[in-house]
Amino acid sequence: MDAITSNNLTTSTLAGADPVEFYGTQVASRLLLGTAQYPSPAILAEAIRASGSDIVTVSLRRESGAAKAGQSFWQLIRDLGVKVLPNTAGCKTVKEAVTTAEMARDLFDTPWVKLEVIGEDDTLQPDVFGLVEAARILSRDGFQVFPYTTEDLVVAEKLISAGCEVLMPWGAPIGSGRGLNNPYGLRSMRAHFPGIPLVVDAGVGLPSHAAMAMELGYDAVLLNTAVAKAGDPVRMARAFARAIEAGREGLLADPMETRDMAAPSTPVMGRAAFGQ
């Protein structure tokens, strides 16, 4: 399991510090937060602060990008001093995704892009064929692509050969809050790509889901709806930050093995014997 490899790497760095690295940029927080659907920009800002996130995704509608008409909202986000990961949310074709990514690069002055190419309206499942194609075009053009993908290993290989240095498999369909639908698939992905930063993106509903992703050895978790649509988004942001830290700490602490039979934690010798 790769968890071990990456553990050795991280634990051998500064004691206490456990940064994660995307395309050569190190950040402290392993929680990436989306910025859509909050009750207000003020609550969004407070939630981002409470989450401790260093990276937030911003989805760009093409109309806004073309007219540069969303400036005041984007400025609110820039003012928070976090790194922006622009998102091609809702794009359904390669061309649309590439155009949106180019606009985002101009607007936010970053080569980073979260690449979404949606293939199916009901599940918002990625169109992995379009995704690989768009990733290739964008990587060649100097973008640093964070692809939203499935746990399919062959697709993952193709994304890496297209130039991706990060992979972001889904936990469950976007906005479903179902958690990690396929822990086995996510575990084998981790094992197959020990050296690639892996981020569970989408489908996370509860802090425990995020903790589980970290325990599986994932490098980070990206979520939006679970915080934005909570009754108290700020509190939920804090809860996720703690869960992710707990899951990561648990992984680094080298958990015990599971076993089929009970193993008493206190010795039985010397226990009072009845019925003699």
The three-state DSSP-derived secondary structure of 86-152 is: EECCCCCCHHHHHHHHHHHHHHHCCCEEEECCECCCCCCCECHHHHHHHHHHHHHCCCEEEEEECCC
Residue 202 annotated as lining a ligand binding site: yes
Number of residues that bind another protein (CB under 8 A): 20
Residue 175 annotated as lining a ligand binding site: yes
Interface with another protein (CB under 8 A), residue from 27, 76, 153, 252: 76
Q: Tally the C-alpha atoms within 13 A of residue 142's C-alpha that lie toward its C-beta.
A: 6
The one segment of 36-44, 136-144, 212-220, 265-273 that binds another protein by CB under 8 A: 36-44
Residue 87 annotated as lining a ligand binding site: no
Residue 225 annotated as lining a ligand binding site: yes
Interface with another protein (CB under 8 A), residue from 2, 21, 49, 73: 73
**For another protein, the closer CB: 175 or 194:** 175
Spatial distance between the Cα atoms of 171 and 112, rounded to a whole number of angstroms: 22
Catalytic residue status for 92 = no
Interface with another protein (CB under 8 A), residue from 19, 119, 175, 185: 175
**For another protein, the closer CB: 64 or 125:** 64
Concatenated DSSP letters for 173-237? STT-----S-HHHHHHHHHH-TTS-BEEES---SHHHHHHHHHTT-SEEEESHHHHTSSSHHHHH
45 binds another protein (CB under 8 A): yes
- Min dist. Cβ of residue 45 to another protein (A): 7
Residue 142 annotated as lining a ligand binding site: no
Phi, psi (5° rounding) for residue 54? Answer: -100, -15
SS3 assignment, position 158? helix
Q: Which DSSP symbol is given to 271?
A: P
**For another protein, the closer CB: 83 or 92:** 92
The one segment of 12-20, 63-71, 130-138, 145-153 that binds another protein by CB under 8 A: 63-71
Give residues in contact with another protein (CB under 8 A): 39-43, 45, 61, 63-64, 67, 69-73, 76, 175, 225, 229, 231
Residue positions annotated with a catalytic role: 114
